[in-house]
Each structure stands twice: as C-alpha cells, then as structure tokens.
Structure 1
Amino acid sequence: MKNWIYRLIAVSALTAWGSLPAMAADEPAWLPASAATRLQGASAIIEGASGANVKSTLYVFMDPNCIFCHLVWKALQPYEAAGLQVHWIPIGFLKPDSAGKAAALLQSNNSAALLKELETHYSEKDESGGIAPLAHIPPIAQTQINRNLQLFQDLGFNGTPTIIYQGSGGRWADLDGLPRLGMLPGILNLPEQRINDPELRKYR
C-alpha cells in the first residue's frame, strides 16, 4: 500500500505541475457494473441538488489540496443549481495536511458548507484548501479515508480528480482530470450552463 501511495503522489504532483496533461481524455474508461454499488457506499460529502430535484449524479475522488479538484468544483457549481448532485469522495495524500482536511470534511456536522469554505478560500498560489486540518484524526475518520483510498486503488485510478458518471447505455465511466467545459453537458446529461469564471476560460 505504501509504495502505491507514493506512485499516486507522483502522478498527482506531475499533473499539478504541468508535466502531465491537466485535461481529462475525451474518451471515458468504462467501469464494471459493481463499481456503482461500491461508490454509493463510499464516505462522501454530498453537494448540490437533493430529493426530487436530482437530475444527474456524479462521483468525484478529490484531495482537499488538489488544484484541479478545485477547478472541477468551480466548473460544476452552475450545474448543481440545474439539478446535479455531486458525491465528493475525499482521499488525503498530496500534502502532509491533506488527510487532516479530508477528516475535517468527513467529520463536520455540515460537510457541504465546510467543502464550500475549503473551495471558496482555496489558495491557488500555495495549492492549499482553505480550511484547517484536524490536528488529530479520529479513528472513524481514518477508517473512512483508508476505505476511500482502497476503493480508489481497486478501481485502478491514478490521480485526482477522478470523475465517475453514468454514460451511454447506463454504463459507468470515469475521466481522470479536468474535463473540457464543453464536455460537461454530455457527461452530466444536463443542458449547458453558463460558466463565467475567468480561471476556467482556458478549459473551454
């Protein structure tokens, strides 16, 4: 497990530093049908539409300090207002305080509000999520993070963000990285939403 985590850190760091493409591939990778059940059972922060208002569901593996996870969060906000529900599945590996921030999100009484704080106060200069990490991670939170990481490994993923969605024919697919904004309506099966954030213009 330790060697695999080191490889994961290397891949994610290279992506963040620009040595690997930050953009997701145009073609998805298809997942086994059993992946959906496991994803539904993952410890996650649920954000966006709820109840009868949910028109589309997305699962995203994220690190609280991952800059491309931050950009995906920004890109998805207009779609959440249009019926998207996102399950953010935290794993913590990029920085020494990543696990503490992941634990803070999972242990919060209002995890969606804390996620919003993390992203709205994100420091792009330092590539650091805008919340304080837990100084001591409770055993239950550590178990949740470990299980999320194990699921991430079992499904063969390599870095964050990894986006999982239901594609054609009801099959589940994944994309590694930040999708081009023009891909989002097809991925989410929702009408295109206006995205005016200047930081996202180059990802159109």
Structure 2
Amino acid sequence: MLRFLKLAAVTAIATTAALSCLAVAATQPPPHYMPASAAASFEHAPAIVEGASGTHVKSTIYVFMDPNCIFCHYTWEALQPYEAAGLQVHWIPMGFLKPDSAGKAAALLQAANGPALLHELETKFSEEKESGGIAPLAKVPAAAKAKLDGNAKLFTSFGFDGTPAIIYKTGDGRWASLDGLPHLSALPGILNLPEQPITNPSLARFR
C-alpha cells in the first residue's frame, strides 16, 4: 500500500531520502512529541490555510502534503466537516511523489486564492490515477522552488517518513506529530473538537 519514491527535484538536501504516501496504520501509533521551540518553524512555513478563521478558530493543525498523495486527499476529505466546526488547517505543500508534483505544489503556493485552488485539486482528485486535479506549472519559479525546498528541509528535519504528516497540539498543550492518515475515530481527540459525522463512502474503511 505504500509507494516509496525518491525526493528528486524538490531539494538537494533530501535527494537520497525514500519517502512515501502513507496509509492509515492497522493500529494507530502513539504520537511523537515535539519541543515547543519547533513551533516557530512550522507555524511560519509556506502553506495554504484553509478552514475556520479569526475568532471562529477552535483548533489548528499543520499537514505536510503532496498534491498527488491519495492519503493526503483522504485526509483532506476527512477534515472538511471539522473545518466547518472550527478547525483551521495549514497545508504545507511539497512535491516528490510524481514528476508533476512540484509543479502542482508550486501552483498552490503561487495562486492568488490558494484555498480555492486546493479545493479544486481535491474535489477533482483522480483516485484511480492518484493524481491531484489541477494543472502543474510548466516551470517552477525560483521563489516557489525556494519555498518548496524549505518545506522539504523542515519535513526531513522532523524525521517524517511520508505524507500526510500531521502536527497538532494535544489537550495538555504539547505539540505532537503523526505520520499517515489517522483513524477517523481518533480525529476528535487529535483535533480537540467534538466528533463530526463523516459520510463520504471513500472513507468508510478508515473508521
């Protein structure tokens, strides 16, 4: 179920790292706790911010994603009801799974309306082809490449193995991270929000 590919054009730092698009584990692994000092890095990482805003934000998480990662797509779908209930998500794009991943990630970062383009990417996602539903930029601008390189460097510095990689604050105020799509039943505890109904049939196997 895991697809291990090389992180090539995204950053020279991680050209030898085998990364993957991670499925939900049979048994949910325990979170990895992070030092409070780490927050300054991921809180300011180039991202597409989606969901609740302003005084409506009740919970915030950070998700490293690849535009062609099917389990990132499933995570996006699973989080939509929680966004309506007060969740804000910072989607931190990288581009390593497919040749056009970097072009799609750059398009998200360059977009005048990043959340709208992310919505298009996910609502038009091809599960059969495992491909995000937007056109990649033909050439990644230098500024966008620098942002993607920085995100990839940050990702590897945290020791993540693949996407989605989720960073969240626990109920006792500590920062923690998880690799892969969480079980749907674990989301209320991770997000510190009441359980929301998830009716998407594509997600039934992740309960």
Taking the TM superposition and a 5 Å limit, the aligned residue runs for 1:67-82 are 67-82=70-85
Aligned AA (2:97): L
Determine which of 58, 62, 67 is the counterpart of 1:59.
62
Q: Note the C-alpha offset of 1:105.
A: 0.1
**Across the two proteins, how many residue pairs are aligned to each other?**
196
* Greater fraction of residues in helix: 1
Aligned AA (2:194): P
Aligned AA (2:147): Q
Indicate the SS of the match to 2:202.
Answer: helix
State the partner residue of 1:94: 97
Kept in 1, the 8 Å contact 2:14–2:152? The answer is no
Determine which of 142, 151, 157 is the counterpart of 2:154.
151
Aligned AA (1:148): N
Q: Note the C-alpha offset of 1:2.
A: 4.8
Rounded to whole Å, the distance in 2 between the matches of 1:95 and 1:6 is: 16
Gaps of 5+ in 1: 16-20
* Greater fraction of residues in strand: 2
Which string of whole-angstrom CA distances, capped at 9 and with x for unpartnered residues, describes residues 29-74 of structure 1? 1111111111111000000000000000010000000000000000
Kept in 2, the 8 Å contact 1:25–1:175? The answer is no
Is 1:122 aligned to 2:125, yes or no?
yes
Rounded to whole Å, the distance in 1 between the matches of 2:81 and 2:185 is: 14
State the partner residue of 1:169: 172
Aligned AA (1:127): E
Indicate the SS of the match to 1:200.
Answer: helix
State the partner residue of 2:18: 8
Determine which of 109, 113, 116 is the counterpart of 2:112.
109
Rounded to whole Å, the distance in 1 between the matches of 2:71 and 2:24 is: 7
Which string of whole-angstrom CA distances, capped at 9 and with x for unpartnered residues, describes residues 69-89 of structure 1? 000000000000000000000
TM-score (norm 1): 0.92
Aligned-pair RMSD on alpha carbons?
Answer: 1.5
Q: Note the C-alpha offset of 1:135.
A: 0.3
Aligned AA (2:24): A
Rounded to whole Å, the distance in 1 between the matches of 2:36 and 2:44 is: 14
Q: Which runs of at least 4 in structure 1 moved beyond 2 Å after TM superposition?
A: 1-9, 21-26
Going from structure 1 to structure 2, the CA distance change for 1:3 and 1:151 (only over 3 Å counts) comes to closer
State the partner residue of 1:36: 39
State the partner residue of 2:182: 179
State the partner residue of 1:189: 192
Give the stretch that moved more between structures: 28-37 or 187-196: 28-37
Rounded to whole Å, the distance in 1 between the matches of 2:157 and 2:47 is: 17
Q: Note the C-alpha offset of 1:27.
A: 1.1
Q: Note the C-alpha offset of 1:3.
A: 7.8
Gaps of 5+ in 2: 1-10
Give the stretch that moved more between structures: 96-105 or 23-32: 23-32
Rounded to whole Å, the distance in 2 between the matches of 1:79 and 1:202 is: 19
